[in-house]
Chain A
Amino acid sequence: MSLEPGPVLHELLGPLAPPMLQLLEKQVTVRRYPPGFAVFHEGMAPRDLVLLTQGRIRLNKLRPDKRQETIANVHPVSMLGLAAAVGGIPHPATAMALEPSECLLIPAHLLEPGQDPIRRGLAIKLSKACLRGMNAQLRAANARLFSLVGDRELVEALSLDLGTWSLPLHP
């Protein structure tokens, strides 16, 4: 059974004034993916913020040695493709449905504030949700890098340059 977008969007973004919810519901697309279908491919230009509402999605990344590596299994309710959609950079991984899955696709252009106050209020709420989601992703990425390199000092040195300083690894 499909979820109604309204409550999920409220959960993600907090209370939404009726005009803001109407604007968002007009723009959001609900899409279903059978197992094995890709929500997006690595290297693809992003168009949407993807909110997984049902099912399970696997994120795979192509390594330089051409092997596919699973970097995460994503469960509802989670956002996908955040960094790509927010930063306007190609998707760093492929998102594949592992079981029948349903996503809300939120157009990335809604992150741009615009002139209209309702649109701007929505951009503020979306930016906040994206910042929270990406902050969690950065923490996970730092831990992943540490697990690969096994050297705390080295990872901290990398973080120092990348500005991922919200991710202290030390005890």
Chain B
Amino acid sequence: MPASARTLLDRLPAARTLGRKERRRALRILDVERLEPGAVLYHQADPPEQMALLLSGRLLASTLASDDTSIPLGRIRAGEVIGEMGLLDGAPRSATVTCEYSTVLLVLHRHRFHELEASADPILAWLLNIAAKGMALRIGAMSQRIAQAAVEPDVLHALPRPSVQQPQTLWTWLEALWGQR
């Protein structure tokens, strides 16, 4: 039997900053959505209608190149927030997001986002805080890679390329590349 959203939220390290009552309230305010592999959460170029926190599972963001091939751009894992930039800026979705493994999400719809913002709701403050911290850590990681690439670009080229069809290859490649992971 799949774990309940409540159990998944309680297990999430990012939820520890919320008290128990606030976690229960989050489950009342936010909608629980479950996706099966292959299901699409966002379509590229669609208007942004929601943001979400992953409680479990994994999503893949990809985009179409000019020759209509799909280019994988990134994976979103449990504890990460997705879709917040669309709600902040109102820009169409920059990528298509597809479910890779069975996924449970807490979804905040646009109209509710504005209500929560107007009342300075703790749940919204918490979600944006998670999103901001996640982005900050990515910038830190990116900065390290840029520093390395500035000195040793050939090291990057010498490694076997990852493939979205072979995620294990990706991990092996990345582990070889960034030994500190």
Residues of A whose CB lies within 8 Å of any CB of B are 61, 63-65, 69, 71, 82-89, 92-93, 111-113, 117-118, 120-121, 123-124, 127-128, 130-132, 134-135, 137-138, 141-142, 144-145, 148-151, 153-154, 156-168, 170-171
Evaluate whether A64 and B148 lie within 8 angstroms (CB atoms) in the complex, with A86-B136, A165-B73 already known: yes
Q: List 20 A-B contacts (CB under 8 A).
A: A83-B137, A85-B136, A86-B135, A89-B137, A89-B140, A92-B140, A92-B143, A117-B119, A134-B136, A137-B139, A145-B142, A150-B153, A154-B156, A160-B73, A160-B75, A163-B80, A164-B138, A166-B94, A167-B73, A170-B71
Q: Which residues of B contact A (CB under 8 A)?
A: 61, 63, 65-66, 71-76, 80, 84-85, 88-89, 94-95, 117, 119-122, 124-126, 128-129, 131-153, 156-157, 161-162, 164, 170, 173-174
Contact among A71, A123, A138 for B125, CB-based, below 8 A: A123
B125 touches A124 (CB 8 A): yes
Instruction: Specify the main secondary structure of chain A where it touches its partner.
Output: helix
Known A82-B136, A160-B74, A170-B71; 6 more pairs at CB < 8 Å: A61-B143, A131-B131, A134-B136, A141-B139, A151-B156, A154-B156
A86-B136, A154-B161, A162-B138 are known contacts. Are A128 and B74 too (CB-CB below 8 A)?
no
Q: Are A162 and B150 in contact (CB under 8 A)?
A: no
Partner of A113, one of B129, B146, B170: B129
A149 in contact with B132 given A127-B125, A161-B174 (CB within 8 Å): no
Interface centre among A87, A120, A156 (most CB of B within 10 A): A87
Q: How many A-B residue pairs have CB under 8 A?
A: 174
> Taking the nearest CB of chain B, how far is it from the CB of A63, in angstroms?
5
Would you call A158 and B145 a contact (CB within 8 A)? yes
- Point out the residue from A64, A111, A141, A161 that lies within 8 Å of B170, measured CB to CB: A161
Residue of chain B at shortest CB distance from A135: B85
* Least CB separation from A120: chain B residue: B120
Whether A120 lies near B76 (C-beta < 8 A) is no
Per the bound structure, the CA–CA distance linking A164 and B141 in Å amounts to 10
| A168 and B157 form a contact (CB under 8 A) | no
In the complex, which residue of chain A has the Cβ closest to the Cβ of B125? A113
Q: Nearest 8 CB-CB pairs, A to B? A: A165-B74, A87-B136, A165-B73, A121-B120, A113-B125, A83-B139, A127-B128, A86-B136
Residues of A within 8 Å of B95, CB to CB, are 165-166, 168
Say whether B120 contacts A149, CB under 8 Å.
no
User: In the assembled complex, how far is the CB of residue B137 from the closest CB belonging to chain A, in whole angstroms?
Assistant: 5
Write out the residue numbers on chain B whose beta carbons fall within 8 Å of the beta carbon of A156.
71-73
Contact A149 B136 (CB under 8 A): no
Given the known inter-chain contacts A83-B136, A162-B141, please indicate yes or no for A128 contacting B88, CB distance below 8 A.
Answer: yes
Q: Judging by beta carbons under 8 Å apart, are A138 and B139 in contact? A: yes
Give the chain A neighbours of B63 by CB distance below 8 A.
168, 170
A165 cross-chain contacts in B, Cβ below 8 A: 61, 73-74, 95
A17 to chain B, nearest CB (A): 10
Which A residues are in CB contact (< 8 Å) with B66? 170-171
The complex places the Cα of A65 from the Cα of B152 at a distance, in Å, of 10
A85 and B135 alpha carbons, distance in the complex (Å) = 12
